[in-house]
Each structure stands twice: as C-alpha cells, then as structure tokens.
Amino acid sequence: MVDLKRWLRHGFTPRWRRHFSAATLAAIECAVADSERLHRGELCFVIENALPSEKVWRALSAFQRALEVFAEYRVWDTEENTGVLIYVCLADREVHILADRGINRCVCAGQWEQIVAAMQQAFSHNRFQEGALLGIAQVTDVLVEHFPAVDANQNELPNTPTVI
C-alpha cells in the first residue's frame, strides 16, 4: 500500500537549490578533491531532491534508492574496491553512506551510522553545507586510517557532487 503522506512529500519538496546552493556544491567538490589526496578511496556525493513518483508508489525506500544510485554511478568500479557513496534524499530527510567491499572488510557499519547521524543533525538545523562537509571530513578520517594515500593516487570517480 502506498504511503500517501510520503508520496505528497516527494511531490512537493522544495527544490534542492534551497539547501544546496552553487557555493555549497563548489565547497563539496573541493572537499572531495582534498579528501581524495589523503587516501586511496573514491567519494561520490549524490543529492536527490525527491524520488520519482513511480518509485515512491512502489514503496522504494531511500536506502534502496541509494543502492540503485551506487550501481548506476558505478561507485563499485574502482581498482581497489574503495568507492564510497554519500547519498542525500531531501524528501525523506535521509542520508546513507554505502561503501564498496574493499572498505567494508575494514570498516564496520556503526562508523558510517555515526557519520550519518552527525550529517542529519546538521541538516535538521538547515546547516546543509556544514553537514555535508562534516560528513566528508569524517569519511576522510575513516579512509585515511584504512587506506592511506600512495604516490600514484588515481582519481577514478568525479569529485563534482551529482544532483538528481
């Protein structure tokens, strides 16, 4: 059965630019680039304002959508399997961090959950740039610990945040 409140929320969520201005997107891009100089991981930051109505109608959760985005943007397609997706669904007010299998061997889900909680806390106070940059910084700390940079640190995924 369809959750009518959720369907309406996805249909009428204010446009993402209200929360993620051009300056905020540029700051996220710089933070991702700076982060990737410190470790061998690859970050992909995706913001989705609202799910398409057919996905909401089918009761696709924000987590399930994050899994789809992880595959669609080929976050898994890095040489060392060190891709990390930070997915923000504004309509559901959810953040999900998904990591590839190379990282999941070393990092427990609890670490991602703490980062997500910090981001969501900032977002709940309309501090979207602060929350995004905090999340990137904390993911960076985790990746530096387990996957420190080497001399030939390739950039395998775009640093520019994607807005769906």
CATH topology for 4-149 is Diaminopimelate Epimerase; Chain A, domain 1 (3.10.310)
Would you kindly state where each structural domain of the chain is located, as residue ranges?
4-149
Determine phi and psi for 62, rounding to 5 degrees.
-65, -35
27-68 confidence digits (pLDDT tens): 999 999 999 999 999 999 999 998 888 888 888 899 999 999
Instruction: Give the whole-angstrom CA distance, residue 74 versus residue 25.
Output: 21
126-151 confidence digits (pLDDT tens): 999 999 999 999 999 999 999 999 88
